[in-house]
Amino acid sequence: MERKDIRTRSIDESIWRYLSKDTFRQHLVNLEETTNAVPIAPQYFSAADWLPASPHDPNTKYSLPLAVEQRLADDFASLVAVDEGAQSVAAVCVEQHLGRPSLTLRFAALDISLNNETKTALEGWSSILSTVDADREENGSNAMKVLYHSIVRLHRRRLLARLRSSHWEKPKYLSKSHKKPLLKDIDNLIHRAQFSYTRKKAESRLQVEKHLRDLVSTYQAFENISGNHLEYLYSLVAASFEFCSTASIQDFLVRLEDSIGSTPTPQVASAIKSLRQIQKNASYRRIPISS
């Protein structure tokens, strides 16, 4: 693994020649304070209209489908965006080599440049995935556990921030903000479930409410611990993944999204946002399983 020079143009040709680094950094700080470190909603674009036909046979053994390639790039981009705040972003380019079946991932990520912990973790993940590919049956389970724990350790600060946990040390620019913990938002989900199912679907509603209450118990137990909370964080992420994987919760999310007209009510929007936050917690378990 090697770091590429971030300067791709000379100073005279650079797009930053009229903007000093200090000015750019100050603009970034102002943006982060204005948005409370919450990025704008993602936009989705279809590649059907602009993607050229592949020069390779679509039946080629090692040809990655576009959906798989995009998911792989998105997953790794999320894994190397480690720090809190709007400045922690990343993009990943996936290169597939058909002669000798292999992949090359190229990262554009601030955290890799500034944080040796991220670079070291990324090198470790590459080694683990190579081992699993060589002998999936024997080494797969242990290797995936090591990979999972490594991901959670690296992202523990971001996880605590998303949970708005009592274990989280707020950055200075958020010292005056007071948001309730994510587990308190789950109460709104339980309340919202009552409006998402008819009487004939009462059994489905009860299943959703049970899963939500079980998740609240897990999140609350995490808040109540003292001392080293890392082992409990592994369990919390795993519980979030199991929660998001259940058919009843997936159906609940679809019902919430389908209930939206031109503009969602604040209650529905809040419920969907809470589920999305839980999904982000769950992704740290989903990614190593699906790698």
Please, are residues 184 and 215 in contact by the beta-carbon 8 Å criterion?
Answer: no
Q: pLDDT at position 244, please?
A: 96
Q: Which residue bears the tokens 């199912």?
A: 197
Instruction: Return the bridge partners of 103, or none.
Output: 96
Regions of the chain short of the pLDDT cut 70? 1-4, 6, 36-63, 84-86, 133-140, 175, 262, 291
Q: pLDDT at position 53, please?
A: 47
Q: pLDDT at position 206, please?
A: 95
Q: pLDDT at position 1, please?
A: 59
Q: pLDDT at position 48, please?
A: 60
- CA-to-CA dists, residue 148 to 152, 196, 248, angstroms: 6, 34, 26
Please, are residues 271 and 192 in contact by the beta-carbon 8 Å criterion?
Answer: yes
Q: What is the pTM of this model?
A: 0.74
Q: What's the pLDDT tens digit per position in 203-255?
A: 999 999 999 999 999 999 999 988 788 999 999 999 999 999 999 999 999 99
CA distance 150 to 156: 10
Pick the closest to residue 209 from 231, 221, 192 (CA basis): 192
Distance, C-alpha 231 to centroid of its chain: 20
- CA-to-CA dists, residue 167 to 156, 159, 231, angstroms: 10, 10, 14
Q: pLDDT at position 277, please?
A: 94
